[in-house]
Amino acid sequence: MLKINLNAPLLWLILPLSLVLAPHALELPIWITLSWLIFSLASLRSAQSKRSWPSWLKMIIALAGVTGVLLQYGTIIGPSGGVALLVFLSGAKLLEARTPRDRLGLLFVGCFLLVAYFLNSQSMPMAAYMILAAIGLVAGMIGNLQAKPDLRASLGLASRLLLQALPLALLLFLLFPRLQGPLWGLPQQTSGQTGLSDRMSPGDLSQLTLSNEIAFRVEFSGATANSHPDPSALYWRGPVLWDFDGRTWQTRYAVPPNPVQGEARGQSVSYNVTLEPHRQRWLFLLGLPRQLPPQIPQLESSLGPDLQWLTKAPINQRLRYSVEADLDYRLDPNGLGDARRARTLALPEGNPLARELADKWRKEAKTERAIVDQALAHFRREAFFYTLNPPFLGENSIDDFLIKSRRGFCEHYASAFVFLMRAAGIPARVVTGYQGGELNPLGDYWIVRQRDAHAWAEVWLPGFGWTRIDPTAAVAPNRVELGLNAALPEGERREGLMTLNADWLMPMRLTWDLLNNQWNQWVLGYNQDRQRQFLARLNPFLATWQGMAWGLAAAGGVILLLMAALVIPRLARVKTDAASRLYGRFCQRLQRLGLVRGVSEGPTDFAARAIMQRPDLAEPIQRITQLYLALRYGNAGGEAGFRREATQLDELKHRVGAFSPARKTKIRAC
């Protein structure tokens, strides 16, 4: 049976490592976590029985771990495979962690794994947990160096050490010149985050609306910040879908990179977007930019003629960008060109009933705008329903939706409307993105969540250009004005959304989101631009490289001087250990005999010189010196070492107390 000793050196290693590896266990394969637990129990068992594991078995275990990681990840390097292998090998190393040096090395590996998890999560709760894990690691290092470690004392000393290091760490964070990019150089390994796709089929966006994850946050500046735009005007533009195959909307080939042909018609707005990583290439726009959006330092991006803002690489890290744009504008008011017109009128075979309805409107209406109005009136007049649970649509999906089911979500209405417009000879396309958002009055910014995902239509009208039409608003105006939950039938309202919007919970939820936003802006998003903005407020000189260097040197020097002023007097008052006090008393008694120890003379040399001058005291001098050296430098720790140290200290105390030789009449000079 395994009996656990709370003062066992291995336990002071396993417990801190367990704190560090607990979050990793959520990301690692179960076999690695189970292997680590088995290794820890086996190491405690072998330490109790004082048996060592065969070298050949440990070699097989290590090779098995490398093979398993290779099969699981295809590599043993990088954020995923490298961390997984390190976790496995840290457990295997427990089987031979017998010396303080081995245990200390594993604790340093724990420090690396502590930092490595921030590549997965950089949230405030995880940062707080990692501080506790760091205290545990430092406490383990302290306990590893003690013969009889004390849990309370070790944790207290570890906490004080980290608090003493905090001012210097804060100074380095604020003043050390930062490279361009986020706080962490590697992309975040976001596993749960979802986002819009470059394809839209019935049911796609309804899956996004089940998620409360944040897509991005927006801060308006200038006059708009004081008045706050109407949520019904907040259409955050993302992927633009040009091509339809009968069921799925997508963009099969890229739109030619022509300049944007836009005409602003109103007052501009300025806003800052903090975009969460979503592993896609979309950057979201509100309105027509006054000028080409500035390049984001980490990513190359381009704005297409359809106002689709794309980056060259997927967005795997949090981004912040600023835009000045007009909400009232005309896009391509002067014409489309033959190629784009043909593309925005193309339709696949099928759906004859929808084509017949569109042909009827075209014959009855006198203008394109009248056809649009007839289609919207049709959605309002007929028994269409807004639901997240529409029935399955057959091969002629548009006919089935318009004639049979008449139940759907925003992508059903946008898809059917664009089909009808194209069938009636009006250029049209689907636009996806997010609509609306939630104002956080505590921080004066908007929160746009995945549940705000939306699809709408754009039609091209002579003299007006591309015009946004939201057919969903014709069926469920509450979706645009009040949000998703207000538009759903009572039986379909998600319990999570209802709980999230409860009046009693809202202040706490908004406060927590404000704290998260500040954490993202000033800690995770403290990049080169943020650093210079902050330092320029303190002193413009600090915003330069020279100013940062001088400020870092001056402030660092002050902190070190203050720490020295606090620590050095305490060191001077620290009492020596029992062995040193007893040896000092022994040297004082030899001094009475005329044998004075030199300032740079070691105990062994002093004992040899004293024996030469007083050979009659050779035995006590030699034994006292041996005991002192053993107590100061010879014990290896552990329970046996602690018992041996206590025995030696008792003997030294007895011998020094009994050492009182008489002074000779004549003593040779030293």
DSSP 569-616: HHHHHPPPPHHHHHHHHHHHHHHHTT-PPPTT--HHHHHHHHHHH-GG
pLDDT at 242 over 90: yes
Query: How large a percentage of the chain has pLDDT more than 70?
Result: 85
Identity of residue 223: A
pLDDT of the residue at 358: 94
Chain centroid offset of residue 447 CA: 19
The domain total for the chain is: 4
pTM score, whole prediction: 0.70
Q: Is 654 a residue of the active site?
A: no
pLDDT of the residue at 355: 94
pLDDT at 192 over 80: no
pLDDT of the residue at 571: 60
Q: For 307-349, write each residue's pLDDT tens digit.
A: 999 998 888 888 888 899 998 899 999 988 899 999 999 999 9
Handedness of CA 642, 647, 650, 651 (dihedral sign): negative
Question: 299 or 367, which is more confident?
Answer: 367
Q: What is the average per-residue pLDDT within 90-119? A: 89
- Co-location of 476 and 551 in the same domain: no
Does residue 129 sit within a domain?
A: yes
Q: What is the average per-residue pLDDT within 47-57? A: 83
Q: For 245-264, write each residue's pLDDT tens digit.
A: 988 999 998 888 888 998 88
Identity of residue 607: A
Does residue 184 sit within a domain?
A: no
- How far from 44 is each of 30, 58, 107, 208, CA to CA, in Å? 22, 16, 17, 48
What φ, ψ does residue 171 adopt, rounded to 5°?
-65, -45
DSSP code at position 293: P
For 319, the domain range is 199-349+428-504
- Co-location of 475 and 545 in the same domain: no
Q: What is the average per-residue pLDDT within 269-291? A: 90
The tokens describing 654, both together, are 């007895």
Q: What is the average per-residue pLDDT within 388-400? A: 85
- Co-location of 250 and 134 in the same domain: no
Give the containing element (helix H, strand E) for 469.
strand 465-469
Does residue 355 sit within a domain?
A: no
Q: Is 470 a residue of the active site?
A: yes
Q: For 549-600, write each residue's pLDDT tens digit.
A: 888 889 888 888 888 887 777 665 545 578 888 888 899 888 888 888 887 8
Does residue 163 sit within a domain?
A: no
Question: 637 or 315, which is more confident?
Answer: 315
The tokens describing 135, both together, are 């205290």
Does residue 225 sit within a domain?
A: yes
- Co-location of 477 and 556 in the same domain: no
Last residue of a domain, one of 126, 145, 164: 145
**Tokens 């109790």 appear where?**
48
- Co-location of 296 and 310 in the same domain: yes
**Tokens 């106002």 appear where?**
307
Q: Which residue of the set 410, 412, 452, 513 is catalytic?
A: 410
Order of strands, sheet of 438-440, starting from the edge strand that comes earlier in the sequence? 288-289, 319-326, 268-275, 214-221, 445-449, 438-440
pLDDT of the residue at 113: 93
Distance of alpha carbon 194 from alpha carbon 434, whole angstroms: 13
- Co-location of 139 and 245 in the same domain: no
pLDDT of the residue at 277: 87
Last residue of a domain, one of 540, 573, 606: 573
Distance of alpha carbon 402 from alpha carbon 416, whole angstroms: 7
Does residue 175 sit within a domain?
A: no
- Co-location of 565 and 642 in the same domain: no
pLDDT of the residue at 184: 46
Helix/strand/coil percentages in the chain, nearest 5 = 55, 15, 35
Does residue 557 sit within a domain?
A: yes
Cβ neighbors of 498 (< 8 A, separation 6 or more) are 485
- Co-location of 291 and 437 in the same domain: yes
Question: 285 or 198, which is more confident?
Answer: 285
Does residue 160 sit within a domain?
A: no
Contact status, residue 323 vs residue 295, Cβ threshold 8 Å: no
- Co-location of 606 and 490 in the same domain: no
- Co-location of 216 and 80 in the same domain: no
- Co-location of 549 and 624 in the same domain: no
- Co-location of 319 and 229 in the same domain: yes
pLDDT at 635 over 70: no
Q: Is 670 a residue of the active site?
A: no
Contact status, residue 101 vs residue 58, Cβ threshold 8 Å: no
